[in-house]
């Protein structure tokens, strides 16, 4: 066994960490406070080329392995969760189906500009009445001559208010439930496609999240993203492990930001004549946080390594997400306590991490859904 990153991965980690410290960390509080999309930072950051990290070089990507990609997700989220969420959406789910099923023309029009940061991408599953339960999807796509007509409303869409294109989940046959679901590409400017409400969120601010409306949106037949009708949910299954491991990496990024600041604070803050870090109860917090973050890190990178090796990792990916996101909740809570009253003040960072931490609980499966899934895998058919 070898638990170390390779030399290339370690070099990448240092490089991206430095970039995050210089470019993103100083802007994180402002991004959160303004809750506006940081266009300048987006332009500056996308020039570095990382948005194509997981895609082949022919599209402007870097063809990186999954461990490297997770290092990136962890580091960028440590900088700013809101900014990271927009970046990661462009890098992963916003472009995944286009890369996998799109025509070369579509890749030129959407994938390559998204990798360059010239276009903003997103994915639309969630609706008012359907989140975890995809079978409840009400958006429909009806065949009409040589195209499809899409009707419905999507909610909670990352980058929705500013997206140039989206991959939308719609039912082509509501009588078939999950087996009637399929993905379609819809581009900005298509008649009937519009943005609705922009959500005012507790955390993960600075990435714009909102409603997308599809009112008799007509797209050509080639915008169906798949090789067979009715396999949309199967395709989701193909990328779900990566999404779950990515969310675990984001959870670790948030935890690390909160932990690093709390550590600095504990070394400096004096109470009863001593830095508070000298008191056993504060040391115990760091002992627990450090051990639990390390356990989460091992689960997450082990699952990423399994993906790289082509070893099935359904359970491991789900466990990484479940555990890392819980550790994240604990670390931000402890960090806020270590800060005392200052942890309750908007001038200091802990409250931001405390709010941001909630975000990782939902995507890729809620805790309840994951526990049920992992339990089912363990117990098997009975
Ligand atoms: C900041 C942010 C950005 C997002 N971006 C996107 C995006 O870009 N695209 C997109 O499509 N969606 C997006 N989402 C939505 C996200 O994917 C959903 O929140 C998620 O799928 C959960 O769905 P829900 O919120 O509707 O909760 P529900 O699924 O309605 O769940 C409500 C509660 O019921 C529990 N529950 C549900 N089913 C079960 C079960 N079988 N057993 C036990 N308990 C259960 C859940 O755990 C939860 O506690 C985003 C959400 C957030 C917060």
Residue 215: inside a domain, yes or no? yes
Which residues, 6+ apart, have CB-to-CB distance to 186 below 8 Å?
150, 165, 166, 168, 193, 214, 217, 219, 223
Q: 246 with 184, same domain?
A: no
What tens digit of pLDDT does each residue of 215-252 get? Answer: 999 999 999 999 999 999 999 999 999 999 999 999 99
Q: Where do we find the tokens 């440590």?
A: 78
Structural domain ending residue among the three candidates 167, 194, 229: 229
In ligand 1, which atom is closest to the CA atom of 160? 8
> Could you give the C-alpha distances from 184 to 80, 139, 217, 248, 317, in angstroms and in order?
30, 11, 11, 28, 27
Q: How far apart are the C-alpha atoms of 126 and 41, rounded to whole Å?
A: 28
Q: 221 with 251, same domain?
A: no
Residue 137: inside a domain, yes or no? yes
Residue 1: inside a domain, yes or no? no
> With a 6 A CB cut-off, is 125 part of the ligand 1 pocket?
yes
Distance 317 CA to ligand 1 centre (A): 18
Range of the domain at 254: 233-379
> With a 6 A CB cut-off, is 362 part of the ligand 1 pocket?
yes
Q: 109 with 145, same domain?
A: no
Report the candidate in 230, 337, 210 with the shortest Cα–Cα distance to residue 286: 337
161-168 average pLDDT score: 98
> With a 6 A CB cut-off, is 131 part of the ligand 1 pocket?
yes
> Any idea what the CATH number is for the domain that residue 48 is in?
1.10.540.10
> With a 6 A CB cut-off, is 213 part of the ligand 1 pocket?
no
The whole-number pLDDT of residue 70 equals: 98
Q: 87 with 131, same domain?
A: no
What tens digit of pLDDT does each residue of 60-115 get? Answer: 999 999 999 999 999 999 999 999 999 999 999 999 999 999 999 999 999 999 99
Q: How far apart are the C-alpha atoms of 321 and 144, rounded to whole Å?
A: 41
300-319 average pLDDT score: 98
pTM comes to 0.98
Q: How far apart are the C-alpha atoms of 368 and 278, rounded to whole Å?
A: 38
Q: 178 with 251, same domain?
A: no
**Which stretch of DSSP H or E encloses residue 158?**
strand 147-158
The burial class, CB within 10 Å (0-12 / 13-18 / 19+), for 27 is middle
Structural domain tally of the chain? 3
> Any idea what the CATH number is for the domain that residue 170 is in?
2.40.110.10
Report the candidate in 196, 195, 198, 129 with the shortest Cα–Cα distance to residue 164: 195
């Amino acid at each position: 066994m070898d638990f170390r990153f390779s030399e290339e991965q370690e070099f990448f980690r240092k490089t991206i960490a430095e970039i995050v410290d210089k470019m993103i960390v100083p802007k994180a509080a402002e991004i959160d406070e303004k809750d506006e999309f940081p266009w300048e930072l987006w332009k500056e950051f996308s020039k570095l080329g990382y948005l194509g990290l997981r895609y082949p070089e022919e599209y402007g990507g870097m063809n990186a392995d999954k461990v490297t990609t997770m290092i990136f997700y962890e580091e960028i989220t440590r900088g700013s969760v809101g900014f990271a969420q927009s970046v990661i959406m462009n890098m992963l789910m916003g472009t995944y189906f286009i890369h996998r099923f799109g025509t070369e023309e579509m890749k030129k029009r959407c994938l390559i500009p998204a990798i360059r940061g010239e276009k903003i991408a997103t994915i639309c599953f969630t609706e008012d009445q359907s989140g975890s339960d995809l079978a409840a999807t009400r958006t429909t796509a009806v065949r009409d001559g040589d195209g499809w007509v899409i009707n419905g409303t999507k909610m909670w869409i990352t980058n929705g208010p500013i997206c140039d294109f989206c991959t939308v989940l719609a039912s082509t046959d509501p009588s078939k439930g999950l087996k009637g679901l399929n993905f379609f590409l819809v581009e900005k400017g298509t008649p009937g496609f519009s943005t609705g409400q922009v959500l005012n969120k507790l955390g993960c601010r600075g990435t714009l999240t909102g409603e997308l409306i599809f009112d008799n949106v007509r797209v050509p037949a080639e915008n169906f993203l798949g090789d067979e009708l009715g396999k949309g949910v199967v395709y989701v299954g193909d990328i779900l492990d990566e999404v779950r491991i990515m969310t675990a990496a984001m959870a670790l990024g948030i935890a690390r930001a909160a932990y690093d600041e709390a550590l600095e604070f504990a070394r400096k803050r004096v109470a009863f004549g001593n830095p508070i870090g000298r008191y056993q109860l504060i040391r115990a917090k760091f002992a627990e946080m450090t051990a639990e973050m390390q356990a989460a890190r091992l689960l997450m990178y082990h699952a990423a390594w399994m993906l790289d090796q082509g070893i099935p990792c359904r359970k491991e990916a789900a466990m990484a997400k479940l555990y890392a996101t819980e550790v994240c909740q604990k670390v931000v809570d402890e960090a806020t306590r270590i800060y005392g009253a200052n942890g309750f003040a908007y001038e200091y960072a802990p409250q931001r991490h405390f709010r941001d931490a909630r975000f990782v609980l939902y995507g890729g499966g809620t805790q309840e859904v994951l526990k049920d899934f992992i339990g089912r895998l363990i117990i098997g058919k009975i």
